[in-house]
Structure 1
Amino acid sequence: MPSPIQRWPAPVAGRSLTVSHGGLVYAVAYDPDAAQGIAAQTTNALAFLDARLAEAGSDKSRLLQVTIYLQDMTMKPQMDAVWTPWIGPAAHWPQRACMGADIGDGGTTLIEIVAIAAQA
């Protein structure tokens, strides 16, 4: 019998913020407050990701793969300055990619994070 799929719906119709299935957690994170600047939005998005992982029985030490979408790739060094201390020691580093993308809200959202993690 396959394991059940558990979903945590987003506040917007048609999507979930977090889904778990088969011992894996799939999560998306952004800054719900759309703070000013990439450093602030990265800090808030990572806190949001921490909460999504926790609700599904995981944490950042169990991340397997992360894709970070930036509204502007010139912001990558500032984003990395927040990411690197947050992710911690090399034993916790997931496979990660960073891409420039039109996030589609007129430039208010500077970062969106898509992650896959193992459940604890």
Structure 2
Amino acid sequence: MVDATRFPYEGLGRCEAVVSDGIVYAVATDPQGSDGILAQTQNALDELNRILEKAGSGRAGLLQATVYLSDVKQKPEMDTVWIDWIGPEENWPQRACIGVDLDEGCLVEIVVTAKVI
């Protein structure tokens, strides 16, 4: 059995975060299902802040991020919100953006790995 702290999610079959050996694995989407990539990105990042803090981390602990976009052509718009949120260069994780099919109405999903700080 893996020594891990799991932070349940209201959906079945997954957690919003898992912490193991000082590493946080987390995922966030816009819990409000807002209209538009700008609003959904901001709300997903606000949710990610909440999850990371609950797990003992934050933007300064980010190591890696994968941003899944329902339309990769919206990456420049998503980036405007991301760049404002991520802050100074010492917070910048390794990051990839990938265009994928997401649940209906979901425009962005963000998966991160971070250190407990």
TM bucket (normalised to shorter chain) is over 0.9
- Quote the offset at 1:4 in angstroms: 2.8
> What residue is the counterpart of 1:111 in the other structure?
108
Query: What runs of 5+ residues in structure 2 fail to find an aligned partner?
Result: none
TM-score in terms of structure 1 length: 0.94
| Structure 1 segments (4+ residues) deviating >4 Å | none
Q: Distance in 2 between matches of 1:3 and 1:59?
A: 23
**Percent identity, aligned pairs only?**
49
> Which residue of the partner structure matches residue 17 of structure 1?
16
Equivalenced residues, count: 117
Q: Which runs of 5+ in 1 are unaligned?
A: none
- Aligned-partner SS, 1:82: helix
Q: TM-score, normalised by structure 2?
A: 0.97
Give the 3-state SS of the residue equivalent to 1:12 in structure 2.
coil
Deviation sequence 1:53-89 (CA, Å, 0-9, x none): 0000000111000000000011100000000011011
Amino acid in structure 1 at the alignment position of 2:116: Q
